[in-house]
Amino acid sequence: MNSRWKANTINTTSIILIYVILVLLIRMGFINSYYEGILIEMGINIILAVSLNLATGYLGQLTLGHAGFMAIGAYAAAIFSSRVNMPDLPLLLISIIIGGLLAALLGFLMAIPVFRLRGDYLAIITLGFGEIIRVIILNLKITGGGKGLSGILPLTSFSSVYFVTIITIAIFYTLINSRHGRAIISIREDEIASEAVGISTKYYKTFAFTIAAFFAGIAGGLFAHHTLVLDPKDFGFIRSIEILIIVVLGGMGNLTGSILAAIIITILPRMLMGFADWNMIIYSILLIAMMLFKPGGLLGKREFSLYKLLAGRKKSHGNAPVKNEGSE
């Protein structure tokens, strides 16, 4: 297992190296707080995209309510952190985990319609689900209703987002390449065949939805302690679509594709600052262009691997999940 050890070393070294470089650039002022904010948002978008990819890309269920889970995580984490006295880092971690757990609980509940519906119907139900969450938040007292929730502690830092993002990616990577991940992917490939080889499709659908919701909640918690003000409008259906666009752009069932696309989609609107209203139009054009020229996503079926790049070795085949397009 020499190559396993080598791959681990290369990955760990580069993760730390990138971190050290970025922190140095921040400390020395080359990256000002504006750009640091963009980096934080990148991390949050990566977590959102990677988690949605589990439900939509790997499990193969089109869902349009991811922003709803993010909202639950954001509000729950913010409300918790405002009521508890604790040092910053543990407070942030506990808050986002609470947000994640609450989102996971709702993801678990939402999995119920998932057993009954598929395709377009499921997309519409999840969209409705996301909207219901938003409307509930809008009408509760504890969330500040339409005025929003302000005075949230600034607990999210570049460092915390960086490491939470890395841990999230690592968890999704190993999950997808385990027997549980294979079970999830088999449902996308052929649900009937999946049952016919002994996989409880009900269990794994619930599982994938719950995990996806958990990490959307985590992203929400980081977001809350970064923006410091929450407005139900931030979690509307457009937000869900934005996350879906990242997943489609990066390729359904492609982890590194999601990461790359999340980075691009975070930067893109900044470059188009003057054209704020044009965002959706540009996304649409981007999507249409993708469908026409690269329907499998930016990277297609390829997963980017630093190890492969540096060691110059052919990646062992094995269970890298590959799938071009959601073919229904």
User: What is the contact surface with another protein in residues (CB under 8 A)?
Assistant: 1, 171, 174-175, 178-183, 185-186, 189-190, 192-202, 207, 317-319, 321-324
Between 87 and 198, name the residue whose CB sits nearer to another protein: 198
| Smallest distance from another protein to CB 192, Å | 6
* 208 versus 259: smaller Cβ distance to another protein: 208
| Residue 160 contacts residue 23 (beta carbons within 8 Å) | no
Closer residue to another protein (CB): 28 or 196: 196
Minimum CB distance to another protein, residue 123 (Å): 22
User: How near is the Cβ of 191 to another protein at its closest, in Å?
Assistant: 10
Beta carbon nearer to another protein, 120 or 325: 325
DSSP one-letter code for 312: T
Least distance from another protein to the Cβ atom of residue 188, Å = 9
The C-alpha atoms of residue 182 and residue 320 are separated, in whole angstroms, by 10
Q: Which is nearer to another protein, 196 or 273 (CB)?
A: 196
Polymer length of the chain: 328
Residues 6+ apart with CB under 8 A from 200: none
Cα 171 versus chain centre, distance: 12
Which residue, 210 or 256, is less far from another protein as judged by CB? Answer: 210
Contact 280, 238 (CB under 8 A): yes
Let me know: does 319 contact 177? Beta carbons within 8 Å. yes
Q: How far is CA 106 from CA 65, 145, 216, 284, 327, in A?
A: 11, 20, 11, 30, 28
| Minimum distance of another protein from residue 275's CB (angstroms) | 38
Rounded to a whole number of angstroms, the minimum distance from the CB of residue 276 to another protein is 39
Closer to another protein by Cβ: residue 150 or 174 = 174
Instruction: Please state the closest distance from residue 292 (CB atom) to another protein, in A.
Output: 21
The CA distances from residue 290 to 96, 243, 298, in Å, are 34, 16, 8
Short-list 173, 215, 209, CA closest to 60: 209
User: Contacts for 175-178 with beta carbons within 8 Å, 24 or more apart?
Assistant: 175/54, 175/211, 176/54, 176/58, 176/255, 176/321, 177/318, 177/319, 177/320, 177/321
